[in-house]
Structure 1
Amino acid sequence: MNRAKREITLEHLASMRSGLACGLSAPGEPELIAMMQSSDWVDLTLDLPMSYTPGRRFAYSALDLVVVTTAAGFEPGLLVPFLYRAIRGEKALPENQSLFHQLEEALAAARSEPKAVLTALPELAGHVSGRTYEMEANPLGFERLCFDFTY
């Protein structure tokens, strides 16, 4: 195993910053498909080339998490009872008025109209503003297009 791979930590894997060349290529994560067809997921993952130094860059990769949860024969299903107990408590969480007000302010801001910021238009906008352009036949059926950059 090369030096860069020896530097990969559980934190790198859990945060999807392992540096392994997975999750970066074609859509559909082909490495994940290869993993499902492999009998040894850890070896398959560690055989991947490195794309960058561990910890430097995030790249979504299911393989990183698979290594974290299965490398020592761990069964992810064993976590369910612990997670369920942690999520489903008997008592409500104590109120936090400060965070409640922050949430209310954030919701109010999200509901309001954004403030317009006027900037100078590019010169080209002045040339095309107010003109109507006839269009050739197109899949959307547009016949004319007009820009109006007056404000």
Structure 2
Amino acid sequence: EAMRGVTNDLLSIQGNTGPSWINKTERAFFRGRDSREERLQLVQLSKENPQLLDAGITGYFFFQEKEKELGKAKLMGFFDFFKENDEEAKKIAKEGQLMARDLLQPHRLYCYYYQVLQKYAERQSSKPEVRDGMELVPQPEDSTAICQCHRKKPSREEL
């Protein structure tokens, strides 16, 4: 059940035979589950102003009693979702690719794990001890993988 939306996205990407982006509609759009009350209010606004907003809940869990009142929306294909604002979607996609290319470099992953393990180590209540049967795993020399993050402060706040 948790993978339903992901599977829908993957399948819609593979079978992208929908209308061209030029045939988009000029309305705000939302689909999602009922995880916050504001989402239910958004659906109510959509019912009152359908020419401006197309909002729907695709799955009820927290507010199941509202399903009869607000209805349940069908899942939307990945490309159908993004045709609502094509230039912004293209910009988001390009920036996402560039960010992923930058942030998923091996040295960034090492830095991330370094920081996570440092925080984890700070929270340990006892000292680690070497026990029988444990063995030291030698680490290869790789000067490009050395984390420098802890030695410099960020120039700006990251997301």
Same fold (TM over 0.5): no
Choose between structure 1 and 2: higher helix proportion: 2
Question: Normalising by structure 1, what TM-score?
Answer: 0.24
Larger radius of gyration: 1
User: TM-score, normalised on structure 2?
Assistant: 0.23
More strand per residue: 1 or 2? 2
